[in-house]
Chains A and B, each alone.
Chain A
Amino acid sequence: MRLGRNHALLNLHLALVYAFLYGPILVLVALSFNRAGLPTAWTGFSLRWYEALAGNESIRQAVVNTLIVATVSTLIATAIGTLLAIGVERGRSGPVLDAALFAPMIIPDIVLAIALLSFYSMVKLSLGLHSIVLSHVVFNIAFVAAVVRTRLKHFDWSVVEVSADLGASALTTFRLVTLPIIFPGVLAAALLAFTLSVDEFIIAYFTSGAGPSSTTFPIRIYSMIRFGVTPEINAVATIVMGVSFTLVLASQRLLGERRRS
């Protein structure tokens, strides 16, 4: 009897935790369709805030910038992060290597941001979309390597040796044997890297330089929030959350397939 009650209490607690995590997001989604836009009262369903966004030139430019940064940094990070993961898993990883791969994930964003800004100003690198890309690759390498490494944990290296014994070059083996096997993991890692880059604000803010040509979407969102609570942000939030959740769920699906099989 007592155990059953404890169990129900635990599940109630878990339900409340999910309500805490998703409630605020759902409020924004609901408000984005509210004619009044602000939480004063529900004045009817409306898409006017989405229409207002579509007509906003500076937001459109920021979205394009973000897509450029996220695409390029994801491509670079996925390529070298995957190679890194394979290299690490082919041998024994020591504490130094583990720390090096963990550091970019745990270092406070603000510290990485000022460190990169100092570095770019030291080597006299101009700031713009390219410097944001260089910076985003740093944390994305670590995330890609971490995701691909979990996939490689179950990898049977003997297939690589067989391929080499049969006379395939290292490149051919990689292209025809290793990559197809780990591909779902690589794709999942790329989706996550893309999501992280699309949402990243502080490092982009410090390493973007000035001007709308290098303003990314999160930088734009930040200035909208600083400006005050406006209904357009709710529409922005709904779209951004929808895209992130879709990409992450897709990546989890890719990773889950392996576990089930």
Chain B
Amino acid sequence: MSRIPLRIMTPALRRAALMAPGLGWLALFLLVPCLLVFALSFFERGLYGGVDYVFTLENYRRALEPLYRSILINSAWLALLATFVSALIGYPAAYAIAKAPARWQSALLVLVMLPFWSNYLIRTYAWIVLLNREGLINRALAELGATQPLPLLYNDFAIVLGLVYGYLPFMVLAIYASLSRLDPALLEQSADLGASAISTFLRITLPLTLPGLAAGSVFVFVLSIGNFITPDLLGGGRRLMVGNLIYKQFLSARDWPFGSSLAFLLIALMMLLLFAQAVLVRRSGGERPA
């Protein structure tokens, strides 16, 4: 009996049936919770930490008060710095991999991505060991005759370093993807026509790999601005980022509606950036000769 209904299913129906459990799960445990956060952000905080279902725009007004605005701007600034440094380090690294012998390239890429798949907490902790006042770096400096330990930990420097450390692999991977699609004949022609290596790079390689650079930058920026662990552990809780602020609203201040408004601002910014990047990719894809 059970064979017949399966047979009479049209391909479209069968495809829907295959996708239903996965998409259903994402709808129930991703879409609905995110919509709930969006809804919560328009309600008032209850007296004892609950939610009063009264419509208000107060949470968003509060998110833009100078105190919170400065945290939002600070988060964006640190994420931007991390993105910039990652691009600066990541581009030449991706370039070196793309120039390496073909049979090594996939191994070199796996080596770049491997840390991403491992424990982020522990990778962040490693920098505490290296950077703290009695850490490895300050000890080495003391051996060399430094009298004062450098304040390497619990500041913006440590946060940006931690973010670059965590997300550099995405930048390298995205730029490599663009570089590997580059037609080598183009570069040869440019050299044949007498262009210098630098001019070929600036006029051909860089513009054509801009989509990869943009994709890597959006990844690093989005992952950085929403980060919680790095500012918490390497910033020592002294420099808050928006992730820490959301955390506090949910677990200590018990102001879920305000925390929700901050989370929604983060999602909105993220969607805007992803959309801009998709447009950029489409545009550059359209201009590329077939």
- Residues of chain A touching chain B, judged by Cβ–Cβ distance below 8 Å, are 2-3, 6-7, 10-11, 13-14, 17-18, 20-22, 24-25, 27-28, 31, 38-40, 79-81, 83-84, 86-88, 90-91, 95, 100, 103-104, 106-112, 114-119, 122, 134-135, 137-138, 141-142, 145, 169-171, 192, 195-196, 199, 201-202, 206, 218, 221-222, 225, 229, 233-234, 236-237, 240-241, 244-245, 247-249, 252, 256, 259
Contact = CB atoms under 8 A, between A and B. Distances in A.
Interface residues of B, number: 85
Contact of B125 (A6, A108, A134, A237): A237
Contacts of A171: 6
8 contacts: A17-B93, A24-B123, A27-B129, A104-B30, A108-B226, A114-B37, A115-B263, A195-B117
Contacts of A17: 89, 93, 112, 168, 172
A27 B126 contact: yes
Interface of B: 3, 6-7, 9, 11-12, 14-19, 21-23, 25-26, 29-30, 32-34, 36-37, 40, 89, 92-93, 95-97, 99, 106, 108, 110-112, 114-115, 117-123, 125-130, 132, 134-136, 139, 165, 168-169, 172, 197, 219, 222-223, 225-229, 233, 243, 246-247, 250-251, 256, 259-260, 263, 266-267, 270, 274, 278
Contact of B117 (A6, A28, A109, A192): A192
Nearest to B246: A110
Contact of A80 (B25, B93, B136, B227): B25
A35 to B, nearest CB: 16
A91 B18 CA distance: 11
A84 B18 contact: yes
Given A90-B11, A199-B118, A106 B222 contact: yes
Nearest to B22: A84
A249 B246 contact: no
A21 B168 contact: yes
B114 A119 contact: no
B123 A25 contact: yes
Given A14-B96, A202-B229, A249-B110, 9 more contacts: A2-B197, A21-B115, A87-B19, A114-B259, A115-B34, A135-B29, A169-B6, A170-B14, A256-B106
A114 B263 contact: yes
A108 B106 contact: no
A118 B139 CA distance: 46
Nearest to A202: B228
A119 B92 contact: no
Nearest to A99: B274
Contacts of B26: 100, 103-104, 138, 141-142
B125 to A, nearest CB: 5
B21 A80 contact: yes
Nearest to B128: A229
Contact of A225 (B23, B125, B219): B125
Nearest to A219: B121
Contacts of B33: 112, 115-116, 118-119
Nearest to B274: A106
Contacts of A195: 117-118
Contacts of A13: 92-93, 96
B93 A110 contact: no
A111 B118 contact: no
B243 A108 contact: yes
A24 B126 contact: yes
6 smallest CB-CB distances across A and B, nearest first, come from: A108-B226, A84-B22, A87-B18, A24-B126, A115-B33, A87-B19
Given A199-B118, A221-B119, A83 B21 contact: yes
A27 to B, nearest CB: 6
Contacts of B120: 199, 201
Contacts of A202: 228-229
Q: Which of B26, B169, B270 has the most CB of A within 10 A?
A: B26
Contacts of A118: 33, 36-37, 40, 256, 260
A3 B122 contact: no
Contacts of A31: 129
